[in-house]
Structure 1
Amino acid sequence: MPSIRTDDGVDLHYVEAGSGTPMVFVHEFAGNALSWEPQLRFFARRYHCVAYFARGYPPSGVPKDARSYGQDRATDDIAAIIRGLNLAPAHVVGLSMGGFATLHLGLRYPHLARSLTAAGVGYGAERDKRAQFQAELDASVAKLRAEGMASFARAYTHGPTRLIFEEKDPRGYAEFAEGMERHSPEGSALTMLGVQRERPSLFDLEERFRKLTVPTLVVAGDEDDPTLEPAIYLKRTIPTSALAVLPKCGHTMNIEEPDAFNRAVLDFATAVDSGAWRTRIPASQAGGIIAAR
């Protein structure tokens, strides 16, 4: 499997398929590059698709130093993939943890992105939820280190936002849950502590989001409660954004509802590539209900 080496010496392994306009996929905490298989098969028919294993996720490198993990580093890793494979500007599609990094790419490296899709974004982002989120992460790391990856993964993948996936598609859910059991325990622990626990709240980035000009699609499952308010906030704040909500859908949306997810991203990317994606009309946010202000 090919790889790109980052500036701090971590090898990021990736898979690719197809040709055409580049599209990069950035996975969630409980997944890896292979979680994007339904998207690689679909989008490779017309795009050059690349999905990579984040640092901490074998076969990519698993640094032992906690300082090697963080939101900025996760964002830099997307940039390393895009630059290393000469993909700029690329459509960048991220889920959950990968969605956070995708948004930060737009803020820090907008020239590398043709568009941004941020799906399932918002865990711990609300200010009144931050302490709870950090406490749950600390407990999760303690469980992982005490009981091992298999026990931790069984508990993590049975969280409240995954239950709808298990209910509607037990076979797909089982494959997803079993896949997480093979993750690196130390890589997972350091990712939780360095990336997820310490990332800034989306709500503290409002001023920067209001200046973001990269076309952005925010996607939320309507049964993924921790992401609903952040998704609405992002829609109201990023002037080039749209919000898609998938009905009866939880957090693992790209494999839980691949057809609906793929269609939403395809329609978005097509509009961007055709020049039809426009900035929101300011008057639509002037505060009027019936009459224009």
Structure 2
Amino acid sequence: MSDTLLFHKTYRHPSSKEWVVFVHGAGGSSSVWFKQIKAYKQHFNLLLLDLRGHGRSNNMFRDMMKNPYSFKSVTLDILDLLNHLKIQSAHFVGVSLGTIIIRNLAELAPERVKTLIMGGAVTRLDARSQFLVQLGNFCKHVIPYMWLYSLFAYIVMPQKTQKESRLLFIREAKKLCQKEFKRWFKLAADVNPLMGYFKEKEIPIPTLYLMGSNDYMFIKPVKEMVKEHKHSYLTEFENCGHVCNVERPDEFNEHSIQFIQQHQSSL
């Protein structure tokens, strides 16, 4: 595999021409989708990828290490991969920070995006979230990054029912090096300006938000956005937290697959 491409894995369907691309969040990897693969591959072609610096993409991009990360550069990595695989358009499924990346992809190349599935979507950092980011930014040079990441994971996913998700993300984050963590951490400062723009400018792409009712840091701004956007829909899972594809995989798969199937014929 080229060292200029993201690590990826494909599952090809014997007859379907539809592609679904899965994009994980910061600190995760494509392994967070292990509860989606079996259900999805019955209907679609699948592309799972590890974002730069994550999972098995962690030893790539030597030339990029000197340059600051941006949501645009991370998004262009995915477009390069789509071009390499000759995937002209696809349905995109993201979780957590991955939802910002796929929304940005829809902004940069709307012709490549058929639908968006936004799991545990991050659409705005509230005052509490911004304080945590500022605190982490202040401490990131003196505190081991895994301490910081574990703290953030616990704050975002504090309940017992979220333990599996929390431990999964902490385990995957251990594959990041300290410098890589800092590069991704800096992206958090760009979330509110970018999402403020996205809120003002709706794109005519069918978008399904799948949120846990206990995702207390992020669900409120999602509800506000869905009310304002004509092409956006929200399904809320009761007694569920941030990483709803892990906590409620059956419901997540059912609603998202149905949404894609409802819209694929008209696109």
Q: Is the 8 A contact 1:150 1:182 kept in 2?
A: no
1:93, distance to aligned residue in structure 2 (A): 0.7
C-alpha separation in 2, matches of 1:66 and 1:75: 15
State whether structure 2 residue 181 is matched by structure 1 residue 181: no
From 145, 152, 155, the equivalent of 1:156 is 152
From 28, 46, 49, the equivalent of 1:49 is 46
State whether structure 2 residue 16 is matched by structure 1 residue 16: no
C-alpha separation in 2, matches of 1:73 and 1:237: 29
1:261, distance to aligned residue in structure 2 (A): 1.0
Q: Is the 8 A contact 2:90 2:115 kept in 1?
A: yes
- For 1:282, the equivalent position in structure 2 comes to none
SS at match of 2:182: helix
Task: Give the partner amino acid of 2:136.
Answer: S
- For 1:70, the equivalent position in structure 2 comes to 70
Q: Is the 8 A contact 2:12 2:45 kept in 1?
A: yes
- For residues 171 and 203 of structure 1, do their structure 2 counterparts lie closer, same or farther at Cα, with a shift above 3 Å needed? closer
1:111, distance to aligned residue in structure 2 (A): 0.3
Q: Is the 8 A contact 1:149 1:181 kept in 2?
A: no
From 26, 31, 36, the equivalent of 2:33 is 36
SS at match of 1:196: helix
C-alpha separation in 2, matches of 1:192 and 1:150: 12
From 215, 232, 245, the equivalent of 1:254 is 245
Q: Which deviates more from structure 2 when the two are superposed, residues 168-177 or residues 114-123?
A: 168-177
C-alpha separation in 1, matches of 2:30 and 2:2: 13
1:119, distance to aligned residue in structure 2 (A): 1.9
- For 1:140, the equivalent position in structure 2 comes to 136
1:143, distance to aligned residue in structure 2 (A): 4.3
Q: Is the 8 A contact 1:30 1:157 kept in 2?
A: no
State whether structure 2 residue 191 is matched by structure 1 residue 223: no
Task: Give the partner amino acid of 1:253.
Answer: C
State whether structure 2 residue 185 is matched by structure 1 residue 192: yes
Q: Is the 8 A contact 1:89 1:111 kept in 2?
A: yes
Runs of 4+ in structure 1 over 6 Å off: none
- For residues 220 and 169 of structure 1, do their structure 2 counterparts lie closer, same or farther at Cα, with a shift above 3 Å needed? closer
- For residues 64 and 257 of structure 1, do their structure 2 counterparts lie closer, same or farther at Cα, with a shift above 3 Å needed? same
TM-score by length of structure 2 reads 0.86
Q: Is the 8 A contact 2:6 2:78 kept in 1?
A: no
- For residues 214 and 65 of structure 1, do their structure 2 counterparts lie closer, same or farther at Cα, with a shift above 3 Å needed? same
- For 1:89, the equivalent position in structure 2 comes to 89
Q: Is the 8 A contact 1:24 1:92 kept in 2?
A: yes
Q: Identity of counterpart residues, as a percentage?
A: 19
C-alpha separation in 2, matches of 1:222 and 1:168: 12
**Gapped runs of 5+ residues in structure 2?**
none
C-alpha separation in 1, matches of 2:162 and 2:222: 25
C-alpha separation in 1, matches of 2:162 and 2:132: 27
C-alpha separation in 1, matches of 2:169 and 2:130: 25
The one-character-per-residue Cα deviations of 1:13-71 (angstroms, maximum 9, x if unpaired) are 1122232311001111131111112112321222111111111224322542352x112
1:265, distance to aligned residue in structure 2 (A): 0.7
- For 2:256, the equivalent position in structure 1 comes to 265
C-alpha separation in 2, matches of 1:4 and 1:239: 41
Q: How does 1:228-247 map to 2 (within 5 A)?
A: 228-247=219-238
1:170, distance to aligned residue in structure 2 (A): 4.5
C-alpha separation in 1, matches of 2:73 and 2:130: 19
Name the count of aligned residue pairs.
259
Greater relative CO, 1 or 2 (CA 8 Å, sep 6+): 2
Higher Rg of the two aligned structures: 1
